[in-house]
Amino acid sequence: MVAKRIIPCLDVADGRVVKGVNFVGLRDAGDPVELACRYSASGADELVFLDIAASHQGRATLVDLVRRTADAVTIPFTVGGGISSVEGITELLRAGADKVSLNSSAVRDPDLVARGAERFGCQCIVVAIDARARDNGQPGWDVYVKGGRENTGLDAVAWAQRVVALGAGEILLTSMDGDGTQAGYALELTRAVADAVEVPVIASGGAGCIDHIAAALDAGPAGGHASAALLASLLHDGVLTVEQIKGDLLGRGLPVRPLATLC
């Protein structure tokens, strides 16, 4: 059975890690490379860096951050934010990133997913989907871009299926309604997407305790069916550690990579 992953997320703006609620009210959470080293040493399975200002301000220099991170950690990491071309993907992968995350650019140019997957392999291409429940009384979730400011009108489940057909090897699914609230992952949304695609889905947005993480990873009828859980506030604020989370999940019988096997 494939192990479930615990993935710290580092949202970066102006070279610092930030955290907010529902994509607003950002506060400083530390130096990205220092946090990456801490999480790598503590047993995290992967890392995700997202330049949350890049898509609407023009991509800042992520390359230096990627190089410094690649020199400092031993676990895979994904980088996203303002990547709008195969050349941009190339630059970040050459700097040391293991995967790139496409969001607004995938909506604007879906063929970028296909071109990236053809050149670098599906395993390098992650499509990030920021989804919010519809507020018009209709069921389902809409896809948002530009840091959550623009509703594309795309259905989140259908969009996930389309990008996987184009070559995306993983979906990073964020519930905008849950982001930063610590009220729990959007299990219905996560389950709907995970059941609709044949690639791993990373649950993001809303973790407030280990019960929430376990629920997102649970493959049962009420679980989120996710392959990985993305975490930010709980780890940045020191509420939980990776060690505590993995120990608890192992006790519940969930297949996570035990700390003793880490190199």
Residue 44 to residue 111: CA distance in whole angstroms: 32
Task: Compute how many other C-beta atoms are within 10 angstroms of the C-beta atom of residue 229.
Answer: 27
Residue 39 to residue 263: CA distance in whole angstroms: 13
Residue 232 to residue 251: CA distance in whole angstroms: 23
145: which strand partners? 150
- Give the residue numbers marked as catalytic: 11, 130
In three-state form (DSSP H/G/I as H, E/B as E, the rest C), the secondary structure along 32-73 is HHHHHHHHHHHCCCCEEEEECCHHHHCCCCHHHHHHHHHHHC
Residue 80 to residue 92: CA distance in whole angstroms: 9
Beta strand ranges found along 52-208 (DSSP E): 77-80, 99-102, 125-133, 141-145, 150-155, 170-175, 201-204
